[in-house]
Amino acid sequence: MDIFQYEFMQRALIGGLLVGVICPIIGLFITLRRMSMIADALSHVCLSGVAAGLLMGAQPVISASAFALGGSLLIELLREKYKNYSELSIAIILSAGVAIAAILIGLGNGFNGGIMSYLFGSIVLITVEDIYVIAIIGLPVLLLTILFIKELFVITFDEETARAGGLPVKLINVGFTALTALTIAVSLRIVGILLVSSLMVLPVAIAMQLAKSFRGTLVTAVVSGEISVLIGLLCSFYLDLPPGGAIVMTLVLMLVLVLVLTPRRAASV
């Protein structure tokens, strides 16, 4: 296609296809752990990381990764403190992330509107450096998640039996939260901070309606993610829309279509 002769579209496509694979895989385990909101909390922590990066002249994706990692570890620590109200940890970190971001954006006088491209994603502003950072962080995240897929399955299915079987459940849980944080950080350039959690959760919601096996759900979620990235980027180019909004609206329309066509399963999931 002609549009992929443009270098910025090639960069958007490479970055988009990579996050289109990673986000649904991580999103599946987040959903099965019933912690969908963790992605929202960590993406808001990323906002403060991006603001810090812009303020100090550092690569925003790298500073967002560092902030998100810190946030993920704090969430795990707070989950220990509030064992019976673990969702409190997510609310606390989300609030702290937004508060720090507001202060840093204020200190940077709004960064001349540059922060907007991180909120909703931007295809024209993705640099070669961004793609390297996305690949260097994203590919190991993808590899590690695939390597731990059977352990994550067991833990999300029945944590007690996983612990009884001798699996290092706590270590894997902390590691997985860190992988979630890194996934959000590398995805924010494409879909934006405010919509990254949608690219994690919506493909899973679609897949759960269509597949009954774990493998089928995983594959369907990834395929849905990739289709939405492709259609979203095309819409973004031709209609001059923010890519994050276009990708997520594609996913929402796909989900509505699936829910309409498979009403029986919708009631049981």
Q: How far is the CB of 160 from other proteins (least distance, A)?
A: 5
**113 or 166: whose CB is closer to other proteins?**
166
- Which span sits near other proteins by CB under 8 A: 58-66, 93-101, 207-215, 228-236? 207-215
Cβ atoms of 27 and 218 closer than 8 Å = no
Three-state DSSP at 269 gives coil
Q: How many residues touch other proteins (CB under 8 A)?
A: 29
* Distance, CA of 19 to CA of 139 (rounded, Å): 10
**63 or 217: whose CB is closer to other proteins?**
217
Residue of the chain from 5, 57, 113, 160 that contacts other proteins (CB under 8 A):
160
Residue of the chain from 56, 99, 164, 256 that contacts other proteins (CB under 8 A):
164
Token pair belonging to 104: 């840093």
**163 or 231: whose CB is closer to other proteins?**
163
* Distance, CA of 126 to CA of 164 (rounded, Å): 47
Contact positions with other proteins (CB under 8 A) in 137-156: 147-148, 150-151, 153-154, 156
Q: How far is the CB of 168 from other proteins (least distance, A)?
A: 8
**83 or 215: whose CB is closer to other proteins?**
215
* Contact call for residue 167 and other proteins (CB under 8 A): yes
Residues 6+ away with beta carbon under 8 Å from 187 = 19, 22, 23, 196, 199
Cβ atoms of 20 and 226 closer than 8 Å = yes
DSSP 8-state code for residue 212? -
Check the CA dihedral 127-132-134-137 and report its sign: negative
* Contact call for residue 264 and other proteins (CB under 8 A): no
Residue of the chain from 119, 124, 211, 227 that contacts other proteins (CB under 8 A):
211
Cβ atoms of 203 and 228 closer than 8 Å = yes
Contact positions with other proteins (CB under 8 A) in 33-92: none
- Which span sits near other proteins by CB under 8 A: 106-114, 181-189, 210-218, 255-263? 210-218
Residue of the chain from 95, 127, 161, 262 that contacts other proteins (CB under 8 A):
161
Three-state DSSP at 241 gives coil
Ordered DSSP codes for 133-199:
HHHHHHHHHHHHHHHTHHHHHHHHH-HHHHHHTT--HHHHHHHHHHHHHHHHHHHHHHH-TTTHHHH
**128 or 269: whose CB is closer to other proteins?**
269
Q: What's the half-sphere exposure (Cβ side, CA atoms, 13 Å) at 194? A: 13
* Contact call for residue 269 and other proteins (CB under 8 A): yes
Q: Which residues bind other proteins (CB under 8 A)?
A: 32, 147-148, 150-151, 153-154, 156-158, 160-167, 207-208, 211-217, 268-269
